[in-house]
Structure 1
Amino acid sequence: MFSREKLFKEYDMTFVEELRDAEFFTGLKTNYKLPSEELIKSTFELWEDSTGDLRTLLGLALHFGMRRNEIFHARKPWFQMDGDKARINITSDLSFRPKGGHEGFTLGSKTVAADILNKASDDDYLITERADSGRPLFDDALDQLRAIGWDRASPLHELRKLFGSYIASTESIYIAQKFLRHADASTTNDSYSDAIIEGDIKNLWVAA
Protein backbone atom coordinates (compact mmCIF):
# COMPACT_ATOMS: atom_id res chain seq x y z
CA MET A 1 0.00 0.00 0.00
CA PHE A 2 1.30 3.45 -0.91
CA SER A 3 2.29 5.74 1.90
CA ARG A 4 1.10 9.33 1.66
CA GLU A 5 4.61 10.49 0.77
CA LYS A 6 5.14 7.82 -1.89
CA LEU A 7 1.72 8.45 -3.38
CA PHE A 8 2.47 12.14 -3.82
CA LYS A 9 5.92 11.32 -5.25
CA GLU A 10 4.68 8.80 -7.81
CA TYR A 11 1.66 10.80 -8.99
CA ASP A 12 0.73 14.45 -9.33
CA MET A 13 -1.62 14.71 -6.36
CA THR A 14 -1.19 18.39 -5.61
CA PHE A 15 -4.84 19.01 -6.40
CA VAL A 16 -5.76 17.04 -3.26
CA GLU A 17 -4.01 19.54 -1.04
CA GLU A 18 -5.67 22.43 -2.84
CA LEU A 19 -9.06 20.81 -2.48
CA ARG A 20 -8.51 20.07 1.20
CA ASP A 21 -7.58 23.69 1.89
CA ALA A 22 -10.61 25.11 0.07
CA GLU A 23 -13.18 26.79 2.32
CA PHE A 24 -16.03 24.56 1.18
CA PHE A 25 -14.20 21.29 1.90
CA THR A 26 -15.49 19.55 5.01
CA GLY A 27 -14.23 16.02 4.41
CA LEU A 28 -15.27 13.12 2.26
CA LYS A 29 -18.19 12.05 4.41
CA THR A 30 -20.28 13.50 7.21
CA ASN A 31 -23.15 11.87 9.03
CA TYR A 32 -26.56 13.48 8.85
CA LYS A 33 -27.52 15.80 11.70
CA LEU A 34 -30.98 17.11 12.47
CA PRO A 35 -31.64 20.83 12.08
CA SER A 36 -32.81 22.91 15.03
CA GLU A 37 -36.08 22.12 16.82
CA GLU A 38 -37.37 25.54 15.76
CA LEU A 39 -36.81 24.77 12.08
CA ILE A 40 -38.48 21.37 12.37
CA LYS A 41 -41.53 22.96 14.00
CA SER A 42 -41.60 25.73 11.40
CA THR A 43 -41.56 23.07 8.67
CA PHE A 44 -44.62 21.38 10.12
CA GLU A 45 -46.35 24.76 10.43
CA LEU A 46 -45.61 25.45 6.76
CA TRP A 47 -47.23 22.15 5.80
CA GLU A 48 -50.24 22.75 8.04
CA ASP A 49 -50.81 26.24 6.60
CA SER A 50 -50.36 25.23 2.96
CA THR A 51 -53.11 24.31 0.51
CA GLY A 52 -53.59 22.49 -2.78
CA ASP A 53 -50.68 20.80 -4.52
CA LEU A 54 -48.17 22.37 -2.15
CA ARG A 55 -49.88 20.77 0.85
CA THR A 56 -49.90 17.40 -0.93
CA LEU A 57 -46.23 17.71 -1.89
CA LEU A 58 -45.08 18.63 1.62
CA GLY A 59 -47.30 15.98 3.20
CA LEU A 60 -45.91 13.17 1.06
CA ALA A 61 -42.32 14.24 1.74
CA LEU A 62 -42.68 14.94 5.46
CA HIS A 63 -45.05 12.15 6.50
CA PHE A 64 -44.14 9.41 4.01
CA GLY A 65 -40.52 10.18 3.07
CA MET A 66 -41.17 10.20 -0.65
CA ARG A 67 -38.72 11.45 -3.27
CA ARG A 68 -39.48 14.33 -5.62
CA ASN A 69 -40.08 12.10 -8.66
CA GLU A 70 -42.22 9.73 -6.60
CA ILE A 71 -44.34 12.64 -5.39
CA PHE A 72 -44.88 13.94 -8.91
CA HIS A 73 -45.99 10.51 -10.16
CA ALA A 74 -47.99 9.52 -7.06
CA ARG A 75 -51.44 8.19 -7.93
CA LYS A 76 -54.55 7.38 -5.92
CA PRO A 77 -54.29 3.59 -6.53
CA TRP A 78 -50.93 3.62 -4.71
CA PHE A 79 -52.77 4.12 -1.40
CA GLN A 80 -54.02 1.34 0.87
CA MET A 81 -56.07 2.49 3.85
CA ASP A 82 -57.17 -0.82 5.39
CA GLY A 83 -54.42 -1.15 8.04
CA ASP A 84 -53.51 0.74 11.19
CA LYS A 85 -51.41 3.05 9.03
CA ALA A 86 -51.75 4.24 5.47
CA ARG A 87 -49.58 2.34 3.02
CA ILE A 88 -48.31 3.90 -0.20
CA ASN A 89 -46.99 1.44 -2.78
CA ILE A 90 -44.33 2.96 -5.03
CA THR A 91 -44.96 1.14 -8.31
CA SER A 92 -43.73 1.41 -11.89
CA ASP A 93 -45.89 2.42 -14.81
CA LEU A 94 -45.33 3.49 -18.41
CA SER A 95 -44.16 6.97 -17.40
CA PHE A 96 -42.45 6.24 -14.09
CA ARG A 97 -39.68 3.96 -12.87
CA PRO A 98 -38.67 4.07 -9.17
CA LYS A 99 -35.08 4.99 -8.38
CA GLY A 100 -32.85 2.00 -8.97
CA GLY A 101 -35.76 0.20 -10.60
CA HIS A 102 -36.91 -1.12 -7.23
CA GLU A 103 -40.55 -0.87 -6.27
CA GLY A 104 -41.35 -0.54 -2.58
CA PHE A 105 -43.69 0.97 -0.04
CA THR A 106 -43.86 3.36 2.86
CA LEU A 107 -46.23 3.70 5.81
CA GLY A 108 -47.50 6.84 7.49
CA SER A 109 -50.39 8.65 9.11
CA LYS A 110 -53.86 7.64 7.93
CA THR A 111 -55.07 11.11 8.86
CA VAL A 112 -52.53 12.73 6.54
CA ALA A 113 -53.24 10.20 3.79
CA ALA A 114 -56.99 10.81 4.06
CA ASP A 115 -56.41 14.56 3.91
CA ILE A 116 -54.35 14.13 0.75
CA LEU A 117 -56.91 11.87 -0.91
CA ASN A 118 -59.90 13.97 0.12
CA LYS A 119 -58.38 17.11 -1.36
CA ALA A 120 -57.22 15.39 -4.54
CA SER A 121 -58.90 16.23 -7.82
CA ASP A 122 -60.79 13.75 -9.98
CA ASP A 123 -57.56 13.15 -11.87
CA ASP A 124 -55.65 9.95 -11.13
CA TYR A 125 -52.51 11.87 -10.17
CA LEU A 126 -52.32 13.59 -6.79
CA ILE A 127 -50.25 16.49 -8.12
CA THR A 128 -52.49 18.33 -10.56
CA GLU A 129 -49.84 20.72 -11.88
CA ARG A 130 -48.40 18.49 -14.62
CA ALA A 131 -46.81 21.09 -16.92
CA ASP A 132 -43.01 21.13 -17.08
CA SER A 133 -42.85 18.09 -14.75
CA GLY A 134 -44.31 20.22 -11.96
CA ARG A 135 -41.25 22.46 -11.86
CA PRO A 136 -43.11 25.68 -10.88
CA LEU A 137 -44.71 23.85 -7.95
CA PHE A 138 -41.46 22.31 -6.73
CA ASP A 139 -39.60 25.60 -7.17
CA ASP A 140 -42.27 27.31 -5.06
CA ALA A 141 -41.88 24.63 -2.37
CA LEU A 142 -38.11 25.15 -2.31
CA ASP A 143 -38.53 28.92 -2.05
CA GLN A 144 -40.93 28.58 0.87
CA LEU A 145 -38.69 26.09 2.68
CA ARG A 146 -35.72 28.41 2.27
CA ALA A 147 -37.82 31.32 3.50
CA ILE A 148 -38.39 29.60 6.86
CA GLY A 149 -34.69 28.88 7.31
CA TRP A 150 -33.62 25.83 5.30
CA ASP A 151 -30.16 26.60 3.92
CA ARG A 152 -29.06 23.09 3.01
CA ALA A 153 -28.56 22.14 -0.64
CA SER A 154 -31.86 20.29 -1.17
CA PRO A 155 -34.51 21.51 1.29
CA LEU A 156 -37.25 19.23 -0.03
CA HIS A 157 -35.00 16.19 0.32
CA GLU A 158 -34.36 17.23 3.91
CA LEU A 159 -38.01 16.45 4.69
CA ARG A 160 -37.33 12.87 3.64
CA LYS A 161 -34.47 12.82 6.14
CA LEU A 162 -36.72 14.16 8.90
CA PHE A 163 -39.11 11.29 8.18
CA GLY A 164 -36.22 8.81 8.23
CA SER A 165 -35.08 10.17 11.59
CA TYR A 166 -38.58 9.84 13.03
CA ILE A 167 -39.00 6.24 11.88
CA ALA A 168 -35.49 5.26 13.01
CA SER A 169 -36.13 6.83 16.43
CA THR A 170 -39.58 5.31 16.99
CA GLU A 171 -39.22 1.99 15.12
CA SER A 172 -35.71 0.97 14.01
CA ILE A 173 -33.06 1.83 11.46
CA TYR A 174 -34.09 -1.22 9.43
CA ILE A 175 -37.72 -0.13 9.28
CA ALA A 176 -36.52 3.32 8.19
CA GLN A 177 -34.40 1.67 5.49
CA LYS A 178 -37.46 -0.23 4.27
CA PHE A 179 -39.71 2.82 4.19
CA LEU A 180 -37.05 4.97 2.50
CA ARG A 181 -36.36 2.14 0.04
CA HIS A 182 -32.59 2.12 0.45
CA ALA A 183 -30.47 -0.81 -0.72
CA ASP A 184 -28.67 -1.06 2.63
CA ALA A 185 -29.11 0.21 6.17
CA SER A 186 -25.76 2.00 6.23
CA THR A 187 -27.07 4.61 3.78
CA THR A 188 -30.07 5.20 6.02
CA ASN A 189 -27.98 5.30 9.18
CA ASP A 190 -25.28 7.62 7.86
CA SER A 191 -27.18 10.01 5.61
CA TYR A 192 -30.90 9.83 6.35
CA SER A 193 -31.41 9.54 10.09
CA ASP A 194 -30.47 11.13 13.38
CA ALA A 195 -31.82 10.38 16.85
CA ILE A 196 -34.92 12.35 17.81
CA ILE A 197 -34.91 12.44 21.60
CA GLU A 198 -37.43 15.17 22.33
CA GLY A 199 -40.98 13.91 22.76
CA ASP A 200 -42.56 17.10 21.46
CA ILE A 201 -40.69 16.68 18.17
CA LYS A 202 -41.81 13.06 17.80
CA ASN A 203 -45.36 14.17 18.53
CA LEU A 204 -45.35 16.39 15.46
CA TRP A 205 -45.83 13.23 13.39
CA VAL A 206 -48.18 11.58 15.90
CA ALA A 207 -50.49 14.60 16.16
CA ALA A 208 -50.91 14.91 12.41
Structure 2
Amino acid sequence: MVRTIVRKKVATGVNGQYIAHHACDQLSPRLRAGRSRRSPRRLRAPSLRTAPSPGQFTVDLPGGGDVIHYPAVLPHADVYSVKVSPYLPDPAGPAVVTAWTMLVSLSTGKPLALLDATELTVERTAATTALTADLLLPPGARTAAVIGYGRIGRAHARYLRHLRPGLTIRAFSPKGVDEADDGVQAAANLEDAVTVQTW
Protein backbone atom coordinates (compact mmCIF):
# COMPACT_ATOMS: atom_id res chain seq x y z
CA MET A 1 0.00 0.00 0.00
CA VAL A 2 2.86 2.40 0.75
CA ARG A 3 4.27 2.03 -2.75
CA THR A 4 0.84 2.51 -4.33
CA ILE A 5 0.27 5.70 -2.38
CA VAL A 6 3.68 7.14 -3.14
CA ARG A 7 3.33 6.55 -6.87
CA LYS A 8 -0.14 8.08 -7.11
CA LYS A 9 0.53 11.58 -8.38
CA VAL A 10 -2.10 14.09 -7.45
CA ALA A 11 -0.09 17.22 -6.83
CA THR A 12 3.69 17.39 -6.95
CA GLY A 13 5.63 19.59 -4.60
CA VAL A 14 9.31 20.45 -4.53
CA ASN A 15 10.46 17.29 -2.76
CA GLY A 16 7.39 15.08 -2.63
CA GLN A 17 3.71 14.68 -3.31
CA TYR A 18 0.56 15.88 -1.62
CA ILE A 19 -2.21 13.31 -1.82
CA ALA A 20 -5.54 14.98 -1.29
CA HIS A 21 -8.74 13.74 0.32
CA HIS A 22 -10.44 12.99 -3.03
CA ALA A 23 -7.50 10.84 -4.14
CA CYS A 24 -8.02 8.63 -1.08
CA ASP A 25 -11.65 8.27 -2.16
CA GLN A 26 -10.36 6.93 -5.48
CA LEU A 27 -8.14 4.42 -3.70
CA SER A 28 -10.85 3.18 -1.30
CA PRO A 29 -12.80 1.12 -3.86
CA ARG A 30 -9.75 -1.14 -4.09
CA LEU A 31 -10.12 -1.81 -0.39
CA ARG A 32 -13.84 -2.42 -0.85
CA ALA A 33 -13.41 -4.83 -3.74
CA GLY A 34 -12.41 -7.73 -1.55
CA ARG A 35 -8.71 -7.38 -0.92
CA SER A 36 -9.31 -6.61 2.73
CA ARG A 37 -9.89 -10.23 3.71
CA ARG A 38 -6.58 -11.68 4.80
CA SER A 39 -5.96 -14.71 6.95
CA PRO A 40 -4.43 -14.04 10.38
CA ARG A 41 -1.28 -15.73 9.13
CA ARG A 42 -0.97 -13.25 6.26
CA LEU A 43 -1.60 -10.37 8.64
CA ARG A 44 1.49 -11.52 10.53
CA ALA A 45 3.68 -11.25 7.44
CA PRO A 46 7.44 -10.78 8.07
CA SER A 47 7.34 -7.20 6.73
CA LEU A 48 4.79 -6.29 9.40
CA ARG A 49 6.53 -8.18 12.19
CA THR A 50 9.82 -6.37 11.52
CA ALA A 51 8.35 -2.86 11.28
CA PRO A 52 9.51 -1.03 14.42
CA SER A 53 6.63 0.91 15.98
CA PRO A 54 7.51 2.77 19.19
CA GLY A 55 3.84 3.30 20.00
CA GLN A 56 1.57 6.30 19.88
CA PHE A 57 1.92 9.34 22.07
CA THR A 58 -0.29 12.33 22.69
CA VAL A 59 0.57 16.01 22.93
CA ASP A 60 -1.97 18.08 24.87
CA LEU A 61 -2.81 21.47 23.41
CA PRO A 62 -3.36 24.72 25.34
CA GLY A 63 -7.04 25.34 25.94
CA GLY A 64 -8.06 21.74 25.32
CA GLY A 65 -7.64 19.32 22.50
CA ASP A 66 -4.66 17.18 21.62
CA VAL A 67 -2.67 15.68 18.78
CA ILE A 68 -2.03 11.92 18.68
CA HIS A 69 1.14 10.78 16.92
CA TYR A 70 1.60 7.31 15.38
CA PRO A 71 5.23 6.82 14.27
CA ALA A 72 6.58 3.74 12.48
CA VAL A 73 9.55 2.59 10.45
CA LEU A 74 8.97 0.49 7.32
CA PRO A 75 12.41 -0.94 6.46
CA HIS A 76 11.12 -2.99 3.52
CA ALA A 77 9.86 0.21 1.88
CA ASP A 78 12.83 2.36 3.00
CA VAL A 79 10.33 4.70 4.63
CA TYR A 80 9.71 6.36 7.98
CA SER A 81 6.09 7.32 8.52
CA VAL A 82 4.27 9.40 11.06
CA LYS A 83 0.54 9.96 11.30
CA VAL A 84 -0.78 12.89 13.27
CA SER A 85 -4.41 13.22 14.27
CA PRO A 86 -5.41 16.57 15.78
CA TYR A 87 -8.52 16.83 17.95
CA LEU A 88 -9.54 20.49 18.18
CA PRO A 89 -12.64 21.27 20.29
CA ASP A 90 -14.89 24.02 19.03
CA PRO A 91 -17.24 25.58 21.63
CA ALA A 92 -19.56 26.67 18.82
CA GLY A 93 -20.00 23.24 17.28
CA PRO A 94 -18.47 19.81 16.62
CA ALA A 95 -14.78 19.32 17.26
CA VAL A 96 -12.40 19.36 14.31
CA VAL A 97 -10.77 15.95 13.83
CA THR A 98 -8.34 15.33 10.99
CA ALA A 99 -5.63 12.82 10.13
CA TRP A 100 -2.41 13.37 8.18
CA THR A 101 0.37 10.94 7.30
CA MET A 102 3.85 11.92 6.13
CA LEU A 103 6.28 9.49 4.52
CA VAL A 104 10.00 10.25 4.70
CA SER A 105 12.71 8.47 2.73
CA LEU A 106 15.25 6.63 4.89
CA SER A 107 17.82 7.14 2.11
CA THR A 108 17.55 10.87 1.51
CA GLY A 109 15.70 12.10 4.58
CA LYS A 110 13.33 14.02 2.32
CA PRO A 111 9.54 13.82 2.48
CA LEU A 112 8.01 11.51 -0.11
CA ALA A 113 4.34 12.25 0.45
CA LEU A 114 1.88 14.10 2.61
CA LEU A 115 -1.37 12.17 2.76
CA ASP A 116 -4.81 13.35 3.84
CA ALA A 117 -5.46 10.13 5.76
CA THR A 118 -8.99 10.82 6.97
CA GLU A 119 -10.76 8.42 4.60
CA LEU A 120 -8.03 5.78 4.78
CA THR A 121 -8.33 5.89 8.57
CA VAL A 122 -12.06 5.17 8.25
CA GLU A 123 -11.41 2.25 5.88
CA ARG A 124 -8.54 0.84 7.98
CA THR A 125 -10.55 1.07 11.19
CA ALA A 126 -13.59 -0.63 9.69
CA ALA A 127 -11.59 -3.33 7.88
CA THR A 128 -9.56 -4.38 10.93
CA THR A 129 -12.66 -4.40 13.15
CA ALA A 130 -14.57 -6.49 10.62
CA LEU A 131 -11.69 -8.99 10.34
CA THR A 132 -11.68 -9.33 14.12
CA ALA A 133 -15.45 -9.75 14.25
CA ASP A 134 -15.26 -12.37 11.51
CA LEU A 135 -12.81 -14.39 13.63
CA LEU A 136 -14.88 -14.06 16.81
CA LEU A 137 -18.38 -14.54 15.41
CA PRO A 138 -19.66 -18.13 15.40
CA PRO A 139 -19.71 -19.67 11.90
CA GLY A 140 -23.50 -19.74 11.91
CA ALA A 141 -24.02 -16.19 13.15
CA ARG A 142 -26.87 -14.52 11.31
CA THR A 143 -27.07 -11.10 12.99
CA ALA A 144 -24.61 -8.45 14.13
CA ALA A 145 -25.12 -4.97 15.57
CA VAL A 146 -23.35 -1.76 14.65
CA ILE A 147 -23.77 0.95 17.26
CA GLY A 148 -23.29 4.36 15.70
CA TYR A 149 -24.11 4.74 12.03
CA GLY A 150 -22.13 7.69 10.85
CA ARG A 151 -19.36 7.45 8.28
CA ILE A 152 -17.33 4.94 10.29
CA GLY A 153 -20.37 2.89 11.33
CA ARG A 154 -21.49 2.56 7.71
CA ALA A 155 -18.01 1.39 6.73
CA HIS A 156 -18.12 -1.25 9.50
CA ALA A 157 -21.43 -2.55 8.20
CA ARG A 158 -20.13 -2.60 4.62
CA TYR A 159 -17.07 -4.68 5.51
CA LEU A 160 -19.06 -7.08 7.67
CA ARG A 161 -21.50 -7.61 4.81
CA HIS A 162 -18.59 -8.29 2.48
CA LEU A 163 -17.04 -10.87 4.79
CA ARG A 164 -20.39 -12.43 5.73
CA PRO A 165 -22.80 -11.82 2.80
CA GLY A 166 -25.68 -13.56 4.59
CA LEU A 167 -25.27 -11.54 7.77
CA THR A 168 -28.04 -9.14 8.79
CA ILE A 169 -26.70 -5.94 10.32
CA ARG A 170 -28.79 -4.03 12.86
CA ALA A 171 -27.69 -0.43 13.12
CA PHE A 172 -28.52 2.00 15.89
CA SER A 173 -27.45 5.61 16.27
CA PRO A 174 -28.55 8.06 18.97
CA LYS A 175 -29.00 10.60 16.17
CA GLY A 176 -31.11 8.17 14.17
CA VAL A 177 -30.38 6.18 11.04
CA ASP A 178 -31.54 8.33 8.13
CA GLU A 179 -30.93 5.77 5.40
CA ALA A 180 -29.73 2.21 5.91
CA ASP A 181 -27.61 0.48 3.28
CA ASP A 182 -28.55 -2.87 1.71
CA GLY A 183 -28.61 -5.66 4.28
CA VAL A 184 -28.75 -3.18 7.17
CA GLN A 185 -31.82 -2.82 9.37
CA ALA A 186 -32.31 0.42 11.29
CA ALA A 187 -33.06 -0.27 14.98
CA ALA A 188 -35.35 2.09 16.87
CA ASN A 189 -33.31 1.78 20.06
CA LEU A 190 -30.19 0.17 21.48
CA GLU A 191 -32.10 -2.77 22.97
CA ASP A 192 -33.61 -3.67 19.60
CA ALA A 193 -30.17 -3.57 18.00
CA VAL A 194 -28.52 -5.99 20.42
CA THR A 195 -31.42 -8.27 21.41
CA VAL A 196 -31.84 -11.48 19.44
CA GLN A 197 -35.20 -13.21 19.39
CA THR A 198 -34.75 -16.96 19.89
CA TRP A 199 -38.21 -18.22 19.03
State the TM-score, normalized to the length of structure 1.
Answer: 0.26
Greater strand share, structure number? 2
